[in-house]
Structure 1
C-alpha cells in the first residue's frame, strides 16, 4: 500500500486500475492490442478506399501513430469513455486530421460507443466516422480541425481556456493541485508545423507558458514525397526559440520512451513538444508513392501485414475477445478517475458555493438575471460617436456581471476598443508592461499581429468550456481569419469577432484598409451572424444579441469614424435583424410608397433622405437591417410587417458592394453601393466623392419609384 492508501499500487499490470498512471511495464496484451490497432487501421482504410491517394496517405501516419495513440488512451490520459464531456478529462486533439481512423480505432477500443460497423463506415454519408473527425458527431472527438494547422492552434486556445477557467473557479492551489488541472494533448503533423497558423499559435503558447499543453510531432508523410523539398529548419531549435520544452524521441524507442517524455513534459512549466520519428513496424508498402492514382494500399499489403503479426491474413475487422476486454478496461479506469475527481469537486463546491454557482451557469452558457440592464444607452440625439466606441463601452459595462466574457485583439486594442476597463492582461507576470499588467488568470488577451492564430485560439477557448471569447482586428484583415471563422460556423461555436474600420470610412489609410467586398463575402458563410450596427445604441444591442446566441459565431462590424446617435434605433430591435426605425407619414393609411433600408454608418443617410422625400409628399419608411441572418430567422408575418411585399419601390444603402442586397430590394429597387476599391482621403471626402450622400439616396428613391410606377401601369394596376 502506498502512502496515499491507493490499493492500485499493489495490483498486477494487467489490472485495469494499475494503468491509470503511466507505468513502465508493457504487458503482452498491450503488444497484442497495438498489433490489433494496426490491423484495424489497415482494414478500415482499405475498406473505405476514399480520396484517391488519400487512403494510402491516411494509412502511412496511422501505422506510425498507432502505438502513440494507443499509449495515450490506455496509459496516459485521464478520460472517461462513459462520459466523454466530463469536465475533468484530459483532451486529445488529432491535428493530423488526415488520419482520422487513428482516432476512431482508439475510441472503439476504449469503449466510447463506436463499434466495428462504424469503422467499416469510414467516410460514408451519415456515419459516425466521417473522413475527418467532426465535433458533435462522434463521441470523444474534441474539435473539427479539417484545415491544416488548426488542430494545434485550437489546442493552444483550449490550454489558455483551461487556465482562465481555473482562475475563475479555483486560483489558489499550486499548479497541479486544483481539481480543474488537466492536460491538452496534440498529435501534430507537417501541416501543423508548416502552416502559418501553427507557427503563430506556437509562438503564443510559448509566451503564455502553457505548461498544460503537450504536442507530439511526427513527419511520417507529406503530399510531395516527404519534407526535404519543403522545409530544412531545425524544429528542435525553432521550438526552443518559441519558449517550449523540447524533447526528441528517436526511431524504435517506442511507447515507454514516450511515457518518460510525457513525465518530463508535465514537470516543466512550459508547453512541450516531443519530436518523434517512430518506426511504423508495419511492413506496409505505400503504393501511392509510385502510383498517385491508386485509391488505397497495394492488394498484398494488408495480408502481408497480418502475416507479419501472426494473424489470419484473410480475416477482416477481427478483434480478439481478450484484447477487446483488455482495452475496454479504459471504461473502468475512467469511472474510477471520475469518481475520484467528483469527491474533490464536491469538496471544492462545498467550500466555494458562489464559484460553484458560476461553474454551473457557465456549463450551460446561461446568462444571469438582469445582466442586460448593465448595457449602456445614449439619449443625446445627434451626438457623434463611432460604433466601435459603443462596443467598447458595452464590454466595460458587462465586465463585472459577466466574468466569463474575455478577449482582446491582434495588437489593435485601442483601435478596436476591445479592452475592459481595469482588466488585467492574460499572461505570465514577467510579461507585464507599464500599460498592460499581466497575471496568469487575466482577462485581456494579446494575440500579437496574428489574426489567423487569434481566430483559431478563440475556437479552442469556446470548445473547452463555458467562457465567451472575443477577438478584434480591422474588417479588412478578417481575410486572415477566414479558415478559423468557417470552422467556428461549422461547429456552431459562440465566438464573437469585433471587426472595426468597416468601410471607406477608414479614410486616409486607403484601399488596402478599406473593406468593400468583405460584408458580402462574410454573409456567404453559413451560420455566421454578421452584425453592422448603425449607432452606439445598436452596438450595445448587438452585444446583447450575440451573447444570447450560444450556437453561432457572430461578427460585430463597427465604424472607425463617428456617426450620430439616431432617433428610433433600438437595443432590442437589433436581435430581430431588421426593424422599422422611422414610419412613413400617416402610417394608418396603408403601406408606404417606398422603403429605404440601411446598415451601419449609412442608415443616417436613409433617415435624412426620408425627411426630404416626405417633404415632397412621398410616404417613406426607413428600416435598419443590422443582421441579415437574424432577420431571415424571423417568421414571415414579422418580415412582411417590416418589408411589405406590395411595396416594390425600395432602396438599400451600404458602403460595400451591392451583391448582398438584390433579394431585399427586388428587380424594381435601387442599391447605393461601391463597386470598386477605395482611395486615400478623409472619410467625409470619400463618402461625398463615391456617392454616399442623402442626395444620392433620394435620387435612387426617385428611380425606384419611377420603375415601380411603370411596372404598375404595364400590369394595369391603378396608381
Structure 2
C-alpha cells in the first residue's frame, strides 16, 4: 500500500474494493443484492481490519470471534471479506457467485464456504443464531475458565438490517439477550431505511434505539456508517461495555443503500438487482475506481490480508491453552472433546444400557415423563447437555435434579426460554454452531408451527439439536383444537433431514433420545404424549431394532395383516392383535417410532418388516396422507388417521369419536382380511 496515502484514503480504497467485488459479482450472475454490500462497506472495513479476531487459515479455531451476516441477502459483502482477508475463497469463487456448484451461494451457507459461521437468509434468524452463540460463549467461559486461564474469551458480531428488525423473531432474541446480559454480543444496525418495497417510513416507524434500551441493551447512536473512524469509535465504546457486563450492544449506523451509485443510491432499485453496465460505469467514475471488473490492486489485497494477525492471535491462544492444559489437564481434555463435538467414549456402551434399563423398569407413564427420565440419565453422562422449555417446563418436563437455571449471573444447564418458541429454536441452532454443547428445547407440538423455519434451518445446516414437542395429538383433550396437533407430525416428517420420533412407551423414548444425542448430521424431534402409555415387552433383538425406526413388535405365524402404529396408537394395535388372535386371525404389529430412520434402512430390512402380499393397516392420531407410501405391495390397505381439527373434550371421549379405540381398530383390521 502506498505509504503516502492517509489512513482515511486507505480505508476508502478498502471499502471500494468490497463494493466493486459485490457489484461485479452480482452483474456477472445477473442476480443478487448489491445495495447492502455497497452501504455497509465502511462498517465492514472498521470491524474486519481493526477488531475481528479470526484466522483465515483456521476458520474453526475455538476462540475465534463469530461473525454473523444476519442480513444474508448481502452475501457478496461476506464473500468479498473472506476473499480479501485470505480465506480459501478464490477470485474464481467470487466470479461464480450464485452459479451451480459454486462455493458462493446466493445466501451464506455454513459448511459450504470457509469462514461462514451460520446459514442466513431468512431474516431475523441470523441475529437469533448469534444470541445462541453468545450464550454458549458465556456459559463455556463460566464452565471452563479458571483464574489466570481465560481460554474462552471471544465476541459475537452481527450485521443486521431493517428487515431483521421487522421480523418478530428479532424481538424474541433481543429481549432474551438483554435479560441474559450477553455483553460480548455486538450488533451493527444498517439503518438505511430502505427495503424491497421502498422507503420504510410507510411501514417501519419503530424507535429502534429506545426499543433496544428497553431490552437492556447498550445502544450507540448516530454513527456515520460511511466513516470508518466513527464506526471504529463506536466499536471501542462497545468493547469497553463488554468489560462492564452491562448487556449486549447495538451500534446504530446511518447508511445509504447502494452508496456510490449516482442514480440508485438510497433507493429500493439497488436493493436486489444488478446495477447494469451503464450504472456500473457511472459508479466507477463517481468513486474514481479505474480498475477492470474483479481487478483488485495487490496493495489493497495486502492491506486487507488477515492471515498474519490471525496466526498471531491463534498461536497466542494456543500458548494460553497449553498453560491451561498443564494446570488443568482434565478440564482441558473435556473442553477439547466438547469443542470437537465428540461424545464421551463411554457413550457407545451406555446408550443401549439405558434402553435396557428403561425396559427393565417397564413403566407405564406418559412419554413426556419418560423423556424427563431420559434427560436426567443423559445429563448425568453428558455434561454438554443444555436445554430447557419455552415457558412450559412443568408441562414439557425438561428440568432435572441439579440442573441449575441459566441466569445472567449464574451458570446452569436449564434455560427458561420464555414464550419464545421461534427464538428458542433459532438460538438452539446458534448454540450448536458455536460448539461445546448439545442443545435441546421444548414446547407443545402444536407450537412447532411457530418454530418451524428454525427447525428447517437446523436440518439445512445439519446441526445436532433435539426439539422436544409434547402433547402430541387429540389426546391432549380439553384444551381443544387450538392445542391439538393433527397435521404437525406428518408435515415435520417432510422436512429433509429432520428425524421425527413418536415413541410408544418409555423404552422407545429413551431410544429416541439416544438417537438424537448420537446423531451428528441433523436435528431430532420428539413428539411425546400427555397421557400414560403402557410398557411393551421386547426381546434383545427388538430392543436393538428400535434404532432402525421401525420394527416388528409382535408377530404371528403366517400373519394375514400387518398393523403399523406409532405413539399412543401402538397399544391399540396390540389390543386389536390380541382380539383378532382369538378369532384365528394372525396379525403382525409393527411399531414405527421414526419413519424417517426406517426409510433409510436397506430394502431387504424394510421388506422383512413389511412383507409383500399381506394386507396393511396404519394407525396414527395424525393426518393420514404420509402413511400411504407404506401400502405399496399390499393387496388391501387402509389408514386410520385424523384429517380434520379436534374438539374440546376429555381425551377418552375424543379418542372414541375419532376412531382410536381397540374396538375400532379391530373392526377396521377385520374388514381388511375378510
Q: TM-score band, normalised by the shorter chain?
A: over 0.9
| 1:254 Cα offset (Å) | 1.1
Match of 2:637 in 1: 669
Residues of 2 paired with 1:162 and 1:290: CA distance?
Answer: 37
Residues of 1 paired with 2:275 and 2:157: CA distance?
Answer: 29
Distance 1:59 1:284, change over 3 A: farther
Runs (4+) of structure 1 moved beyond 6 Å?
290-294
Q: Cα deviations across residues 300-355 of structure 1 (Å, max 9, x unaligned)?
A: 22112222333326x21111112112222x11111111110100011111211111
Q: Structure 2-normalised TM-score?
A: 0.94
Match of 2:545 in 1: 573
Q: Which runs of 5+ in 2 are unaligned?
A: none
Match of 1:704 in 2: 672
Q: Is the 8 A contact 2:157 2:187 kept in 1?
A: yes
Distance 1:106 1:295, change over 3 A: closer
Question: 2:143 aligned with 1:168, yes or no?
Answer: yes
Distance 1:294 1:109, change over 3 A: closer
Matching of residues 270-669 of structure 1 within 5 Å: 270-279=247-256, 281-286=259-264, 295-312=273-290, 315-328=292-305, 330-368=306-344, 369=346, 370-372=349-351, 373-374=353-354, 376-379=357-360, 383-429=363-409, 439=410, 441-568=411-538, 571-584=543-556, 586=557, 591-647=558-614, 649-666=615-632, 668-669=636-637
Match of 1:709 in 2: none
Match of 2:151 in 1: 179
Q: Is the 8 A contact 1:387 1:539 kept in 2?
A: yes
Q: Cα deviations across residues 572-609 of structure 1 (Å, max 9, x unaligned)?
A: 3321100111121x4xxxx4211111100000000011
Match of 1:125 in 2: 100
Residues of 2 paired with 1:530 and 1:447: CA distance?
Answer: 22
Distance 1:474 1:404, change over 3 A: same
Residues of 2 paired with 1:610 and 1:625: CA distance?
Answer: 16
Question: 2:133 aligned with 1:158, yes or no?
Answer: yes
| 1:262 Cα offset (Å) | 1.4
Match of 2:36 in 1: 61
Residues of 1 paired with 2:544 and 2:331: CA distance?
Answer: 31
Q: Is the 8 A contact 1:13 1:27 kept in 2?
A: no
Aligned to 1:580, what secondary structure does the other structure show? strand
Q: Is the 8 A contact 2:196 2:268 kept in 1?
A: no
Distance 1:302 1:699, change over 3 A: same
Q: Which runs of 5+ in 1 are unaligned?
A: 1-11, 15-24, 430-438, 707-719
Q: Is the 8 A contact 2:34 2:273 kept in 1?
A: no
Q: Cα deviations across residues 51-104 of structure 1 (Å, max 9, x unaligned)?
A: xxxx4xx22211110111122221110100001111111011001111100101
Q: Structure 1-normalised TM-score?
A: 0.88
Aligned to 1:652, what secondary structure does the other structure show? strand
Q: Cα deviations across residues 334-385 of structure 1 (Å, max 9, x unaligned)?
A: 111111010001111121111122123223322221432456515465x531
Residues of 2 paired with 1:201 and 1:289: CA distance?
Answer: 29
| 1:294 Cα offset (Å) | 9.5
Residues of 2 paired with 1:298 and 1:642: CA distance?
Answer: 60
Match of 1:141 in 2: 116
Q: Is the 8 A contact 1:576 1:631 kept in 2?
A: yes
Residues of 2 paired with 1:27 and 1:296: CA distance?
Answer: 28
Distance 1:359 1:217, change over 3 A: same
Aligned to 1:317, what secondary structure does the other structure show? coil
Aligned to 1:84, what secondary structure does the other structure show? coil
| 1:298 Cα offset (Å) | 4.3
Matching of residues 188-227 of structure 1 within 5 Å: 188-220=160-192, 221-227=194-200
| 1:443 Cα offset (Å) | 0.7
| 1:146 Cα offset (Å) | 1.5
Distance 1:107 1:359, change over 3 A: same
Residues of 1 paired with 2:270 and 2:35: CA distance?
Answer: 14
Query: How many correspondences in the alignment?
Result: 658
Aligned to 2:200, what secondary structure does the other structure show? coil
Question: 2:81 aligned with 1:81, yes or no?
Answer: no
Aligned to 1:124, what secondary structure does the other structure show? coil
Distance 1:93 1:238, change over 3 A: same
Match of 1:256 in 2: 229
Aligned to 1:555, what secondary structure does the other structure show? strand
Distance 1:476 1:252, change over 3 A: closer
Distance 1:276 1:351, change over 3 A: same
Q: Is the 8 A contact 2:198 2:268 kept in 1?
A: no
Q: Cα deviations across residues 391-449 of structure 1 (Å, max 9, x unaligned)?
A: 001111222210000100100001001112121111124xxxxxxxxx1x211111100
Distance 1:294 1:634, change over 3 A: closer
Match of 1:3 in 2: none
Residues of 2 paired with 1:361 and 1:616: CA distance?
Answer: 58
Residues of 1 paired with 2:252 and 2:609: CA distance?
Answer: 60
Residues of 2 paired with 1:397 and 1:291: CA distance?
Answer: 56
Aligned to 2:478, what secondary structure does the other structure show? coil
Greater alpha carbon shift after TM alignment, 492-501 vs 542-551: 542-551
Q: Is the 8 A contact 2:35 2:272 kept in 1?
A: no
Residues of 2 paired with 1:278 and 1:402: CA distance?
Answer: 47
Residues of 2 paired with 1:13 and 1:443: CA distance?
Answer: 53
Residues of 2 paired with 1:91 and 1:652: CA distance?
Answer: 47
Distance 1:284 1:63, change over 3 A: farther
Residues of 2 paired with 1:607 and 1:71: CA distance?
Answer: 66
| 1:663 Cα offset (Å) | 1.1
Match of 1:713 in 2: none
| 1:263 Cα offset (Å) | 1.6
Q: Cα deviations across residues 31-59 of structure 1 (Å, max 9, x unaligned)?
A: 32222222222212222221xxxx4xx22
Distance 1:179 1:466, change over 3 A: closer
| 1:292 Cα offset (Å) | 9.7
| 1:644 Cα offset (Å) | 1.2
Greater alpha carbon shift after TM alignment, 119-128 vs 41-50: 41-50
Aligned to 1:425, what secondary structure does the other structure show? coil
Residues of 1 paired with 2:235 and 2:638: CA distance?
Answer: 64
Question: 2:206 aligned with 1:240, yes or no?
Answer: no
Aligned to 2:665, what secondary structure does the other structure show? helix
Q: Is the 8 A contact 2:55 2:61 kept in 1?
A: yes
